[in-house]
Amino acid sequence: MEAVSRTAQWTAAARALESERPDRIFDDPWARTVAGDVGFDLLERYQGAAVAPFIAVRTKYIDDAVMRAVAESGARQVVLVAAGMDTRAGRLPWPDDVVLFELDRPALIEAKDEILPETVYRPRCARHAVPVDLAGEWAQPLRDAGLDVTRPVTWVVEGLFFFLDQAEAHALLRGMAGLSAPGSVLIGDFVSRASLVNPFASAFLHALREDGNPWRFGTDKPAETLSEAGWRPSEITQPGEETASFGRWELPVPPADRPHVPRSFLFTATLDR
Ligand SMILES: C[S@@+](CC[C@H](N)C(=O)[O-])C[C@H]1O[C@@H](n2cnc3c(N)ncnc32)[C@H](O)[C@@H]1O
pLDDT digits (tens, 9 = 90+) for 139-181: 999 999 999 999 999 999 999 999 999 999 999 999 999 999 9
- DSSP H helices in the chain: 3-19, 31-45, 51-68, 88-91, 106-115, 139-144, 166-178, 202-210, 222-228
Backbone angles phi, psi at 135, to 5 degrees: -95, 5
List the residue whose alpha carbon is closest to atom 25 of ligand 1: 5
What is the spatial distance between Cα 188 and Cα 243, in angstroms, rounded to a whole number? Answer: 14
Contact indicator for 127, 89 with CB cutoff of 8 Å:
yes
Q: What percent of the chain has pLDDT over 90?
A: 85
Reported as half-sphere exposure (CB side, CA atoms, 13 A), residue 154 has a value of 24
Query: Which residues approach ligand 1 with their CB closer than 6 A?
Result: 4-5, 7-8, 11, 82-86, 104-105, 108, 132-135, 158-160, 163
- Mean of per-residue pLDDT scores for the chain: 94
What number does the ligand 1 atom closest to the CA of 134 have?
Answer: 20
Give CA torsion, residues 125, 30, 48, 45, to 10 deg.
-130
What number does the ligand 1 atom closest to the CA of 81 have?
Answer: 6
Probe ligand 1: pick from 57, 101, 104, 189, max atoms within 8 Å of CB?
104
Orientation angle between helical segments 31-45 and 3-19, nearest 10 degrees: 110
Reported as half-sphere exposure (CB side, CA atoms, 13 A), residue 34 has a value of 30
What number does the ligand 1 atom closest to the CA of 5 have?
Answer: 25
pTM of the predicted model over 0.95 = yes
What number does the ligand 1 atom closest to the CA of 80 have?
Answer: 6
Rg of the chain (C-alpha set): 17
List the residue whose alpha carbon is closest to atom 4 of ligand 1: 84
User: Which of 257 and 247 is assigned the larger pLDDT?
Assistant: 247
List the residue whose alpha carbon is closest to atom 26 of ligand 1: 5
